[in-house]
Structures are given as C-alpha cells and as structure tokens.
Amino acid sequence: MKDRTTRQAGRLGLLAMLLPLAVASAAQTDLKWNTRVADPAHAAPPATRAGVPATQSAPTTPASPTLNVRSFEAMAEEMVAGGRIPGLAVAIVQNGRVLSARGYGVTDSRKGLPVDAHTVFRLASLSKSFAGAVTGILVNDGVLRWDSKLVDYVPDFRLSQPDAAQQVTVADLLSHRTGLTRNAFDRDLEANADFHSLTLKLANAPMTCAPGQCYAYQNVAFSLIGDIVFATTGQFYSETVARRIFKPLGMHDASYGLEGIEASARWAKPHVRGGGGWVPLTPKPNYYRVAPAAGVNASISDMAQWLLAQTGHRPDVLPAPLLATLHHPLIDTPSELRGSSWRKTRLSSAGYALGWRAFSYAGHDIAFHGGAVQGYRGAMALLPDHDIGIAILWNSESALPSGLLPTILDSALGITGGQWLDEGITLPATQYVDQDDAPPGSDSSAASGAPH
C-alpha cells in the first residue's frame, strides 16, 4: 500500500489526465454484446446509442415467457434428497423480477440447520465480478482509468521482464493479461503465505508474454486491484465495495473475509467427502487473503440482487454503459471450450472481460463465472437477449449441481438434446409458464435481501 503522500500525488496526477476510456465507459451503449475483438489490447466498449440517459434502465428485448422455475426448484430438491449433497441455493431472475431465490438442504451435515434465502455461502472466484464492478464505478467517477498504470498506485511493483511492470494497466489486471504464467503463486497462497509477500515475489516470476498480449488466470496479481482502489479512495477495498455495491443494492447478508462469514446470522459450512459421507470443516483463510479475487461471502438473496443489477435493472448503481464494458471480452480464452460436457457441446467461443467470462453458448452471448475453494462451489450466468440471470451456490465439492446452470440455459433457449445432470434428476417437462402462473412472491421485492 502507498502512504498518504503518494496517494495524494497519484490523485493529483489523475486529475490532470481525464480518461478517454472513462468517457468511453460512460457512453450510451446497448447491453447486447458485440462479437469478440481480436486485438487483446484495451478494446473500446460496444457501439454507442444516442439519446438514452445514463440513468435509464438498459434496453431489453421484447417480453419473453417466464421460465418454469418450479421444475428447477424440484431438481434442486432432488439434489439434496438423501444427503447427496449437503446444501444448495439457487436464484433465477428474469425481466427485472426475482423468479426464485431459495435454499435447499442443510448448512451443516451434522447439525441439520436448513439452508434458506439468507444463508451465507463463500463465493470464491464469483468475487471477481465485484472487483470489476467497483473499479468501473471509480472509472465512471472520473478518478480512475481503464488504462491507468498499476505502478502509479503500487510503485514497488516489479516483473521479471524489463519495463513490463510499467505496462500493466487496470484492465490488464481485471482481464488476466499481466503476462504471468497461470495461477502464479496460488500454491504459496494455499500454504498460507501472506498477500504482500507474494506480490513482491512476482518480480522473479516467469512470464509468457508482454502485459496485455496473452491470457493466464490469476488470483494474486488480480488482487492488486484492491491496492489501486485503496490508493484511489483512501478506503480499504472491502469497505469501498460495501459502500458502493452491497449497501445500495440491499445485499444485507454480504461481507468479506473469514470474520465476515463467521459473523453471519446463518452460514453454510464447507464440506468434503470423508467416512462415506460429507464432513463439515472450518473454512480456510488462505483465499480470503486475496479479497478482490475470492473474498466475498453472500446469500442467494444477495445474489438475486446482484443478478438484477448485472442484467441492467439497477442503473443507479451499475448503469447500462458500464455493464456493456464490464461484459465485453478483451482476450480469447480457448481453453474454456474444453472440460465439462456442456462446454464442449454448447460453447463456440470463449473470452475474458473485466471480472467475467464471455461465452458464445449455442450462438447466444452469455457472461459467466465459476468459483471453487475448499468445500464450496458456485456458478453464475447472464443471458442478455432473454434478460435472465442465474446463480447457484453449494457448500460441498460435489460436481452434481454444476449441470443445473446449463440445464436452465437450455430450457430458456428451447434447446434439447443435452443431458448435463445425473439421470436420476428429473428434467423439466415444460420450459415456460404463463406470466399469471409464476411462483408466488416472484416479484423482486420478495427476495430483496432485507434484514432478517
């Protein structure tokens, strides 16, 4: 972290050069994403639209039928039946409404407390979307630029290639384009090394390209965005996110760090397999040390509000032009086309934006991110041309729930022929219900994250 004098000097320097990219991010843009850019440098956001006030809700497609969320809720109930997994929480939003935000199963396999809409889970790498958003808010404020240099805020930052450190920008950090090898020093992090010491070790880390020229996923380097936020605002990173995102969105259960989750009124313990079943553990603190990359805790009620904001329905917090910039891919990530069966079958292209992955899913643009730390898993996706957001959180290392997200996407798009869940889980008989048949309490106020 920089001292106060250095921070003040940095602010004065920023006032002297107001950003082309900050102005660009405030341009009026449609939320529908353009095709991927070939140039991995700092791409401009999608084409502008004139005459749409910055505070207006994002343009939406014509109203589409409401998803049959009861069928997905039934799938979630089947997953926790008989202790197949300990606990699960699912949120689905569409057209600015929360269709479902519910918990299933238990917080602790030994105590049996039920998971509800306000049970807090560890988000792991889903936290990266909050890092992109809070940075974008500061860019919109005009106090930061997407092409601002990291060394202007962290002057002792070094990389092994000559002059490479001086090239790393805010956008490079958030899109994993630092030039470092994949997951640099994550093993040290897992061995309880502190964050600051690891950032110093980056000076001797191997590099695969110059900054901005290639993709390699990071947690340690990504989290230097927290130092930039601190230097820009004078507040700790977690405080800035709470003030600019959690509080205005009504994410009342959300927090940062091990202390945050343990202070929650109800939280889901992490579970690993052992002794023929699921064994609850105490959460490990290691990845909490990289707060921007993996530090958020939140309930599914909180995540419903996050999905509403990310689908353009809270322009007072995240205006549509900023969302278009956050979701727009900056670098190709072809390795994401491999792995799970739904990726191999449904994805035709993959890239990374600013705290989000950007996929072409059966020809439709989606924003996506997954998360995993010991005993927790999660996934979320946005389908903009249907104005749909989905978040799934679970407190075990089971792969079982991971097929639920593509199952919901297939249903929303009317696609058949995919079997992403165990055969024992019943697929929906119908994809949609009439609007009058939507689940009770499906208005967004029903899962607003109000105090409980």
CATH number of the domain within which 285 lies = 3.40.710.10
**67 pLDDT more than 90:** no
- In angstroms, the CA 80 to CA 77 distance is 6
**29 pLDDT more than 50:** no
Residue 284 within a domain = yes
Query: pLDDT tens digit string along 357-386?
Result: 999 999 999 999 999 999 999 999 999 999
Residue 164 within a domain = no
**In this predicted structure, what is the pLDDT of residue 154?**
97
Which of 39-43, 107-111, 185-189 has the least mean pLDDT?
39-43
**In this predicted structure, what is the pLDDT of residue 431?**
41
Dmax over Cα atoms in the chain, in whole Å?
A: 64
**In this predicted structure, what is the pLDDT of residue 65?**
63
**In this predicted structure, what is the pLDDT of residue 275?**
86
Residue 40 within a domain = no
**25 pLDDT more than 90:** no
Residue 3's pLDDT band, with cuts at 50, 70 and 90, is very low
Residue 428's pLDDT band, with cuts at 50, 70 and 90, is low
Residue 10 or residue 225, greater confidence: 225
Domain with 402 in it: 66-128+254-447
Residue 214's pLDDT band, with cuts at 50, 70 and 90, is very high
**In this predicted structure, what is the pLDDT of residue 64?**
52
**In this predicted structure, what is the pLDDT of residue 443?**
32
Residue 404 within a domain = yes
For residue 196, give Cα distances in angstroms to 189, 192, 193, 223, 234: 11, 12, 9, 10, 18
Instruction: Look at residues 392, 388, 308, 449 and name the one whose alpha carbon lies nearest to residue 123.
Output: 392
Mean pLDDT throughout 59-66?
49
Mean pLDDT throughout 136-150?
98
* Contact by Cβ (8 Å): 230, 417: no
Average pLDDT, the chain: 84
Which of 64-68, 308-312, 361-365, 424-428 has the least mean pLDDT?
424-428
Return the amino acid letter for 144.
Answer: L
Q: Provide, rounded to the nearest whole percent, the portion of the chain with pLDDT above 70.
A: 79
Number of domains, the chain:
1
Which of 9-18, 134-143, 350-359 has the least mean pLDDT?
9-18
Mean pLDDT throughout 209-226?
98
Residue 119 within a domain = yes
Residue 263 within a domain = yes
**451 pLDDT more than 50:** no
Q: Is 318 left (phi over 0), alpha (psi -120 to 50) or beta?
A: beta
**14 pLDDT more than 50:** no
Mean pLDDT throughout 77-84?
94
The tokens describing 40, both together, are: 């991995």
Residue 53's pLDDT band, with cuts at 50, 70 and 90, is very low
Query: pLDDT tens digit string along 41-51?
Result: 333 333 222 22
* Contact by Cβ (8 Å): 279, 249: no
Query: pLDDT tens digit string along 307-348?
Result: 999 999 999 999 999 999 999 999 999 999 998 999 999 999
**In this predicted structure, what is the pLDDT of residue 423?**
59
Residue 314 within a domain = yes
Residue 396 within a domain = yes
Task: Give the burial class of 220: count Cβ atoms within 10 A of its Cβ; 0-12 exposed, 13-18 middle, 19 or more buried.
Answer: buried
**27 pLDDT more than 80:** no
Residue 435's pLDDT band, with cuts at 50, 70 and 90, is very low
